[in-house]
Amino acid sequence: MEYLYYLANASLSLRVVQFLHSRPEIPVAFITVIHQIDGWVVRIKLRREISVDEDRNFRAFLNELGITYEPPMRVQMALWSLETGQCPVDVMRRYQVAVVSHGSPEKEEIEAFRQQFVRGLGYCPETLA
């Protein structure tokens, strides 16, 4: 079971990660976070099926934060490559995507990416808010 969503900014991505940390009953296998110029792609893959009610509630939460996402081929290939165990740095080079996090959901990785990006730009774009 998996969920693939497009979110407007870093704060929303952090809310998803915090939500998953607060719900240990959701069997997360991995979460992938990719930053794009105009938003964030978040993929959550579960180890097993969850109940219909849990699924409905989780989708409702995700729908409040973003929209379901149909990735272009380049992003699809990057997500597949990460799932098959390829190194995130190699995936970033090959598919020109910014892999912020892959694996266990950690808010520190998103925060660090945001801080480094803002420091490099000298201002905070809306997608990094």
pLDDT digits (tens, 9 = 90+) for 29-84: 999 999 998 999 999 999 999 999 999 999 999 999 999 999 999 999 999 999 99
Residue 26 has what DSSP assignment? S
Q: Is residue 122 assigned to a domain?
A: no
Q: Is residue 127 assigned to a domain?
A: no
Q: Is residue 87 assigned to a domain?
A: yes
Name the residue range of residue 34's domain: 2-109
Residue 75, amino acid: V
User: Is the model's pLDDT at 126 over the cut of 80?
Assistant: no
Q: Is residue 10 assigned to a domain?
A: yes
Residue 71 maps to which CATH number? 3.30.70.1950
pLDDT in tens, 103-121: 987 778 777 777 776 666 6
Question: Is the pTM value of this prediction over 0.75?
Answer: yes
**Cα of 32 vs its chain's centroid, Å:** 4
Q: Is residue 121 assigned to a domain?
A: no
Number of domains in the chain: 1
Please give the structure tokens belonging to residue 104.
Answer: 């266990």
Which one, of 6, 1, 57, 79, lies nearest residue 36 by Cα? 6
Q: Is residue 118 assigned to a domain?
A: no
Question: Burial letters for 69-95: b for 16+ Cβ neighbours within 10 Å, e otherwise?
Answer: bebeeebeebbebbeeeeebeebbeeb
User: Is the model's pLDDT at 123 over the cut of 60?
Assistant: no
Q: Is residue 114 assigned to a domain?
A: no
Helix (H) or strand (E) holding 90: helix 88-95
